[in-house]
Amino acid sequence: MKPKLIDRGAEAEIYLKGNKILKKRIPKKYRHPELDNRIRRERVIKETKITSQARQAGVPTPIILDIKNHTIEFEYIDGDKLKNIYNKLNPQQYNEIGKNIGKLHNAGLVHGDLTTSNMIKHKNKIYIIDFGLAEYDVHIEARGVDLHILFQSIKATHQPNNSIKQIKKGYKKTFPKHKKVFKRLREIQKRGKYIPQ
Ligand SMILES: Nc1ncnc2c1ncn2[C@@H]1O[C@H](COP(=O)(O)OP(=O)(O)O)[C@@H](O)[C@H]1O
Ligand SMILES: [Mg+2]
């Protein structure tokens, strides 16, 4: 079966091949080829590791099927991208988003690009994908920024209504240090008001 290009970002091309997703990191022309090879390879390994660790921590993520040079083969999650259905979710599902992020943070991981384009609903589970910018980070600041990015993107793209409250409620359930993170989040939000980026 021929792979079909379904998405192309700045860093990667995404192909659907049967029930697999191939995420191929594309070369950056401005980098020296050897260095470029190494960087892409390192990112492939890091994304693979963190995707699996998140899954071990109980966060639904696609199973890694194989790694080939600069390409990761993932299980295809045949569902709805949250970007397209966000306003129609129920409180329980918003709660689930927060629980997943809490589990991620509790495992010492931050995602780095939490938007509704990187979440897929499948059989009443909310999958998190795209750990390409994820890091091992246990600092309150990184966790606050993770939530800030998500809430900003929700406010910019969707009708937040009560969803942010529900996400926070879910986060509280799975992440014991939630109070510190929420306090920092408020500080980050204030900073954002006065420091244009
Ligand atoms: N395992 C997967 N199952 C289903 N769709 C996927 C999967 N991985 C990626 N996609 C689709 O491809 C898009 C881009 O993939 P992503 O990993 O987010 O790459 P990028 O870093 O370019 O954003 C996603 O928004 C999603 O629509
Ligand atoms: Mg993405």
Residue 192 pLDDT: 76
Q: Which atom of ligand 1 is nearest to the CA of 6?
A: 12
pLDDT digits (tens, 9 = 90+) for 88-112: 999 999 999 999 999 999 999 999 9
Pocket test for ligand 1, best of 120, 121, 126, 149 (most atoms within 8 A of CB): 120
Residue 195 pLDDT: 52
Regarding the beta carbon of 95 and ligand 1, being less than 6 Å apart is answered no
CB-based burial label for 11 (10 Å; 0-12, 13-18, 19+): middle
Residue 194 pLDDT: 55
- Give all domains of the chain, ordered by start, each with its CATH number: 4-75 (3.30.200.20), 80-194 (1.10.510.10)
Active site (annotated) includes residue 113: yes
Regarding the beta carbon of 147 and ligand 1, being less than 6 Å apart is answered no
Q: Which atom of ligand 1 is nearest to the CA of 81?
A: 27
Q: What is the 3-state secondary structure (H, E, C) of the chain?
A: CCCEEEEECCCEEEEEECCEEEEEECCCCCCCHHHHHHHHHHHHHHHHHHHHHHHHCCCCCCCEEEEECCEEEEECCCCEEHHHHHHHCCHHHHHHHHHHHHHHHHCCEECCCCCHHHEEEECCEEEECCCCCCEECCCHHHHHHHHHHHHHHHHHHCCCCCHHHHHHHHHHHHCCCHHHHHHHHHHHHHHHHHCCC
Regarding the beta carbon of 111 and ligand 1, being less than 6 Å apart is answered no
pLDDT digits (tens, 9 = 90+) for 137-178: 999 999 999 999 999 999 999 999 999 999 999 999 999 999
